[in-house]
Structure formats: structure tokens, C-alpha cells
Amino acid sequence: MSGDEPPAPAGPGGAAPATPRAQRRLVGRWVPYALSSPSLLVLAAIVGFPLVFCLVISFQEFGGYQLVTGGPTIWVGFKNYQDLFTGQFVPVLVRTLFFLIGTVGATLVIGLGMAMLMRRAHTWARIVLTVVLVAVWAVPQITAAQIFIWIFDPVYGVANWLLSALHLGSYLSLSHNQWYNYPISVLALAGTVVVWGAVPFVAITLFAGLLQIPEELYEAARVDGAGWLSQLRTITVPLLTPILLLLGVLSVIWDFNVYNQVAVLQNVGGISNQTTIFGVWAYDVGFVGNNYGAGAAVTMLGVLLLCIVTGAAVRMMVRGTRT
């Protein structure tokens, strides 16, 4: 969204007294500052300050004692970070990376597929899907996770029943709570819940993007004998790249910090230390472990990782505001 000033007849910023704009200034210079100061104050207090504060306490020993008594925190330098690196950092990171690749990949692919189908389908079919997607979008994450747990219930669940009806039961035994034994299946289920809830936003946004692509391009390609896959490769994806990038970045940020779905699943069973991904880890270290210094360190590591991963994309977007 580029900056869009109301067109001023002359001059940058309209400071010259001779411009009609200045004559119409009926309020003082202080007005914009007054209008924006409440927001800035709130943002500084609840976003800016906490970030800085988080950084500070990540270098301190801040545990239950400090929380309860407000007592003195001890400066320990990088000790919290060291403990994390010699501790669970690598397993959690690897787990999170695989989780991310799975969820972000699935979300984008499925979303794009849906958008492409929407483009080609009848209007009424499009409306049906849009309504369904909007309804899915509205479902809270906790609720979604709980529904999926029930669907995959080992004894009464629909999934188990479907698998046996399709005679796939022997390949994929869901009975006897066995699927909770394997962290990979727990994470796969969590990932499914995440993707289920994330696809609507992606599909609808990509559809809006697809509409920008002129039909003539596709017709020309069809005339040249290009199949749908080739059209996808040469027209759709390249033209959608900016949106795909943006959606990818947003998905990475959201999915990296997934907590709700995994927490609901861990509540039911399994080997929780092996299903902890980054968002859950921050909570575990900080609140479950009653160690807020270490929890802050995990948080800062997460922010740093995200900055690195999404840095290029953010720079592109920031440049967009200046034009």
C-alpha cells in the first residue's frame, strides 16, 4: 500500500503559505501528533517496550523467585542461550522446520489448487466454496483441534471407521491409541488442523490475485498447445509470485508460532517432549518451567529466526511504502 497523500496543488508537504492547502488548514500543527499519540503510546507500551524488555530479561536469571518477590534479577549474560543450545534447541528447531515445510507447503499448494479451480468453475460452485471457506476461517483453533481429535479418536472416531471401510485399516492402524505413540503422527495431526484452518485465507487471496491475470494470456497459451501444467509454470506462478511470497511469509510467521493446536493434542497424550515445536517450546520453557529468563531467550531466538527468514520479503514491502 503506497503512501497516498491527498493531492496537494503545490509544494512538498504543503508548507508554503501560498498553497491553497495551507489556507485550508483549520487546525494546528499539533493535531496529527495529538491524533496519533494515543496509538503510539499504546504500541510503545505493548509492543515496543515488551520487545526490548524481552531482550533484556533473556540475559538475566529471571525465575519464579523474581516473579513472586519482584526481587533482584541476576545478570548472566549468554547463559540462558547457552543452556538452550546445549539443550533442546536443535531437536526443536529441526522438528519445527519439518513442520513448517509441511504446513506452509500444503497450505500454499492446496490454496493455489483451490483458487485455480475457482477460476474455472461455475459461479454457484464458487459461491459454495467461498461460503464454506469463510465458515472454516471462523472456527477457533482450539475448537478445530478438538474436533479433529474426536474425528481421529481411536475407538469411536470417524477416521478410523473410514479407513476400515476403505480396507486401509491394516496399513494405518489407528486403534489402541497407537497413533499417539509416534510423535510424527501427533505432529501430522496438528499440521492437518493448522492447514485446514489456514487454507481459506490463502485460497481466497490467491483467487483475488488470479483475477488480475488476463484471460488472454491463457488463451494464447492454449492456442500454442500448452497443457494446464505448462500454463501453471509459465503464466500463473510467475505472475502470482509477489502474492505467493507474501502469503508464504505470513504462513511461515504464523505456523512457526503455532501453539494452540499442538497444546490441545499434547493434553491428550503422547510423548510431549518429542512433539514440542518452537511456539510450544517458548511457553514450556517460560511458564511450565517457571523460568522466564530462559523463556525470553527462546522468544528472542524465535524472533531472530523469523527476521532472517522473512527479512528479504519485509524489505521489499517496506520499500513499497516509500514509493
Partner 1 sequence: MVKRRLISTAAVALLTAGLAACGSSSTGSSGSPTAPAHVTLNVWLMSGSAPASLVTAWNQQFEQAHPNVTVNVSLQQWTGIVTKTDTALATTQAPDVLEMGNTYVASFAATGGLADLSSVSWPNQSTWLQSLQEAGTYNSKLYGIPYYAGDRIAIYNTNMFAKAGITSTPTTTTELLSDCAQIKATEPSGTSCIYIPGEYWYAMDSFLFGEPGNGTSAIATKSGGTWSAQFSSSADQTALNWIYTNLFQTGYDLAPATQNDTTTTTNTVFDSSKAAIIVEPGWDYASVYGTGTSFTASDVGSFALPGYTSSAPMPTFLGGSNLGVAEKSANKTLAEEYIQMVEGTQYQSEMATVGGVIPNSTTLLNLQAENPPLNTAAQAAKTSWFTPNSPQEATVENDSYYEDLLGAIFSGQQTASAAASTYDSQIDSVLNGS
Partner 2 sequence: MTTLGPMGVEGVAAAARVTSVRRRRHGSTPASVALLVISGIWLFPIYYMLIDAFKPNNDLLHYPPQLWPAQWTLANFQEAFKVNGAGPTVPQPSFLTSLFVSAVVALVVVAFSMAVSLFASLAVARFNFRGRGTMLVALLVAQMVPFASLLIPIFIELNKVGLIATIPALIIAYVAPVLPFTIWTLRGFVASVPVDIEEAALTDGCSRLSAFWKVILPLIAPGLVATSIFAFILAWNDYVYAYIILGNSGTVFGQTEETASVWLFGLINPSRVTPWGELFAASLIFTLPVMIFFLIIQRRLAAGLTAGAVKT
Q: Which of 21, 290, 303, 313 binds partner 1 (CB under 8 A)?
A: 290
Q: In angstroms, rounded to a whole number, what is the distance separating the alpha carbons of residues 3 and 156?
A: 56
Total of residues contacting partner 2 (CB under 8 A): 119
**Can you name the residues that pair with 291 across neighbouring β-strands?**
63
With residue 60 as reference, give the H or E element that holds it. strand 60-61
* Contact present, 262 and 284 (Cβ < 8 Å): no
Binders of partner 2 in range 59-98 (CB under 8 A): 62, 67, 70
* Contact present, 143 and 196 (Cβ < 8 Å): no
Site string for partner 1, 116-155 (x = CB under 8 A): ----------------------------------------
Binders of partner 1 in range 27-66 (CB under 8 A): 63-65
235 makes contact, choosing from partner 1, partner 2, none, with CB < 5 to 8 Å by partner type, with: none
Interaction between residue 164 and partner 1 (CB under 8 A): no
**Segment near partner 2 (CB under 8 A); pick from 82-90, 177-185, 219-227, 267-275:** 267-275
Interaction between residue 182 and partner 1 (CB under 8 A): yes
CB of 44 to partner 1, least distance (A): 19
138 makes contact, choosing from partner 1, partner 2, none, with CB < 5 to 8 Å by partner type, with: partner 2
171 makes contact, choosing from partner 2, partner 1, none, with CB < 5 to 8 Å by partner type, with: none
Interaction between residue 49 and partner 2 (CB under 8 A): yes
Q: Which of 248, 270, 279, 302 binds partner 1 (CB under 8 A)?
A: 270
> At what angle are helices 89-120 and 79-86 packed, to 10 degrees?
80
* Contact present, 250 and 240 (Cβ < 8 Å): no
Polymer length of the chain: 323
With residue 61 as reference, give the H or E element that holds it. strand 60-61
67: cell is 516473579
- Closest C-alpha among 161, 164, 149 to residue 270: 149
Q: Which of 16, 46, 101, 168 binds partner 2 (CB under 8 A)?
A: 46
DSSP label of 26: -
Of 50 and 238, the one with the shorter C-beta distance to partner 2 is 50
- Closest C-alpha among 258, 275, 217 to residue 95: 275
Which residues have a Cβ under 8 Å from the Cβ of 233 and sit 6 or more positions away? none
Amino acid identity of 255?
D
Binders of partner 2 in range 91-150 (CB under 8 A): 114, 117-118, 120-144, 146-150
Residues that bind partner 1 (CB under 8 A): 63-65, 67-69, 71, 79, 83, 86-88, 176-177, 180-182, 267, 269-274, 284, 287-291
